[in-house]
Chain A
Amino acid sequence: MKEKEILKVIKDDIFEGTPNILSKIDLKNIPIEEPQTKKKTLCNPFKKLPVALVMGVFVLALVIFSIAYRPKNTPPNTLTKVSVTEKDKIVVGYAITGIQLVGNYSYEVQTLNYNKQITTINKQKEKEISNEMIDEFHKYFYFVEDYLELYNVDIEIYVNEENDYEYKMIVKVEKLFNVFDEYILYYDEKREIDDDEEEKEMKGILIYQNITYNFKSEEELEEGESEIKVIIYEENYNNRVEIEKEVEIDEYQYEYTIYKDNKKHEVVELEVEEGKIELVIEKEDAEHEYTITKINNNNFLITYDDDYIFNLFIDLNEKQYVYEYENEQIIKK
C-alpha cells in the first residue's frame, strides 16, 4: 500500500470514529477570558543594528560570489574592473536585499482606505492585522527581489594601496525605481583550489554610510553548487548576523540569523523549489510563512500562513509598491 493510501485509511477511520460532543459544550456559559496585552519594549538598542548588519552581510555575499565566480587565475589588478560572469548574476540580489533593508526604515507608508465607513471593532481589528502582515512582508520582500534579480549591480576590484588590506572593492547598486547606493570593502583573501572544488576565506571591513563593519566569510564552490557562510558585526561579535546560502541547480535556499547577546534573535529563510517561493520569518518564538506566486514581473499573489491572501503590484511609473487586500490598498515607497 502506498503512503497516501495508508494515510487515507487512518484519516477515514479517525473521521468515522470521531464522537459528536457538540451538544456537551455549552458555549453561552463558558466565560471568555479577556485578552492579555503584551507591551512592547519601547527602546530596543538592537533594532537599528541588525538592519545595517544584515545589509552588510548581503553585500559581502555579493562580493564573495562575484570573486568566487570570476574566471580563475584572474588576479585583481589596479584600476582593472573585474568582468562579471553569467554566474555573477546569482549575486546581484544580495546587494539588492541589503540595501532594501536600509530602505525599510525610510519608506513612507500610506494607507488608502477605500471604505471610510468601516467602524466595527472587528473590522478595525482585521484591518490592523492585515496591515501588520503586509508591513512585515514588505520588510522582507527584497529577498524575493533578490531571487527575481530585479536590481543591477556593478563591481570594481582593485589592488588596494590605501591601507593594509590586500584588495579594495567598490559595489554600486541600482535598485528598483532608479535608486543608487554604494559600498566599499577592504579585505584579504585566502583561496585553495583542488580539482573541481574551491575553498576560500575572506576577512576585512565594509564601509557603508561612514559606518565600518567587520566581516569574515567561508565558502565552498563546486561544479553547479555553492555554499557560503558570512559573519558580520559592527563592534561586538555577540551582536552579529550570520548568513548561509546554498545554490544548486533548480534549487535556491538561504537563511540569515541575527544574534543578539550571542542568542538567536531572528531567522529569515527563503526557499525556491519547483517555482514555488517560500519566505519564512522566525522571531519571538513565532513563525510566519508567506508563499509568493509570480503572476508577471510586476504582479504577485501572496498567501500568508495558508489563511490570508493579498496582492502586490510594483508600480514602476509611480515608483511605489501597491498592496491590495479585501477593499483596502496600502502603498509603500
Chain B
Amino acid sequence: MNLKAAINGIKQKDETAFEFIYNSTSSSVYGIIKAIIKDHNKTEDIMQETYIKMIKSINSYNYKYNFKSWLLTIARNTALDYYRKIIKEEVIDVNENEHLFPKQKSVVESKSLANYYLSLLDDDEREIVVLFAMENFKHKDIANIVNKPIGTVTWLYNKAIKKLKEASKEVK
C-alpha cells in the first residue's frame, strides 16, 4: 500500500489503511509532541487526539502537500494548545518530567542518551532537531511545520547541533 492509497482508505474507514499511516508516522508524531510536552503520559493522549483530528479532517488534506508535514503540523498545534492550557491552569512539575529529559550525566548512562541530548536544547531547537532526526525534512519543510522563517530554522538547527556535538564529547 502506498501513502496515497492509504489516505483514500482512511476516507473509506479502512482499518488496514489507517494502520499503514499510523505505522509510518507514529514515531515522528510522538517525537514532536514529546519535544513540546515533555510528559510521556500526556504525550500518548495528545498522539491519540492528533490522529483523531487527522481522521476527522482527512477530506481537507490536499494531496499537493507533504502528508507527514500536514500531520506533524496537526500534532504540533495540538501539543502547543495543550501546553498553553496547562501553563494557564497549573504549574508544571519539572521534577515529574525529569525522566523524559534527564539533565544529569549520571542519569544518562542508565536512561537515555537521546533524552539527555534533547534536554540540553531550548524548546525551539528541540522541535527542529527532532523533526530533522525523524524525517530528515528539508529546512523549508520544517520551517512550514514550526511556522518560522527558513533562516531562523537553519540558525536554530546549527546552534543545536553545535551544543549536541559538544555534549557528545563529554559523554565519551
A residues adjacent to B (C-beta < 8 A): 1, 3, 5-15, 17-22, 24-25, 27-28, 30-36, 122, 126, 129, 132-133, 280, 286-288, 304-307
B78 interface hit (Cβ, 8 Å): no
Does B152 belong to the interface (CB within 8 Å)? no
Q: Is the CB of B117 within 8 A of A6?
A: yes
Give the one of B3, B30, B118, B169 with max A CB within 10 A.
B30
| 8 Å CB contact of A33 from B19, B57, B132 | B57
Closest Cβ of chain A: how far from B38's Cβ, in Å? 13
In the bound assembly, the distance between CA atoms of A32 and B140 in angstroms comes to 30
- Secondary structure dominating the interface of B: helix
Residues of chain B whose beta carbon lies under 8 Å from any beta carbon of chain A: 3-4, 8, 10-11, 13, 15, 18-19, 22, 26-27, 30-31, 34, 40, 43-44, 47-48, 51-52, 55-60, 62-67, 112-115, 117-118, 129-130, 132-134, 140, 144, 161, 164-165, 168-169, 171-172
Query: If the complex has contacts A25-B18, A307-B66, are A7 and B129 also in contact, measured as CB distance less than 8 A?
Result: yes
* A27 and B13 in contact, given A6-B164, A9-B117 (Cβ under 8 angstroms): yes
Chain A residue with the shortest CB-CB distance to B129: A10
Contact B47 A133 (CB under 8 A): no
Q: Kindly report which residue of chain A lies nearest to residue B5, judged by CB atoms.
A: A122
- Contact A32-B129, Cβ < 8 Å, known A9-B117, A13-B114, A25-B52: no
- Nearest Cβ on chain A to B61's Cβ, whole angstroms: 9
Nearest Cβ distance between residue B7 and chain A, in whole angstroms? Answer: 10
* Contact A14 B31, CB 8 Å, known A9-B114, A25-B48, A27-B18: yes
CB distance from B111 to the nearest CB of A (A): 10
**Closest Cβ–Cβ distance, residue B16 to chain A (whole Å):** 10
CB contact between A24 and one of B48, B67, B134 (< 8 Å): that residue:
B48
Choose among B34, B43, B44, B58 the residue that contacts A32 (Cβ–Cβ < 8 A).
B58
Q: List 27 A-B contacts (CB under 8 A).
A: A1-B165, A1-B168, A1-B169, A1-B172, A3-B165, A5-B168, A10-B118, A10-B133, A11-B27, A13-B112, A13-B114, A14-B27, A14-B133, A18-B30, A20-B26, A21-B48, A22-B22, A25-B18, A31-B56, A35-B60, A36-B60, A132-B64, A133-B64, A286-B64, A287-B140, A305-B64, A306-B66
Inter-chain CA distance A11–B34, complex, in Å, is 13
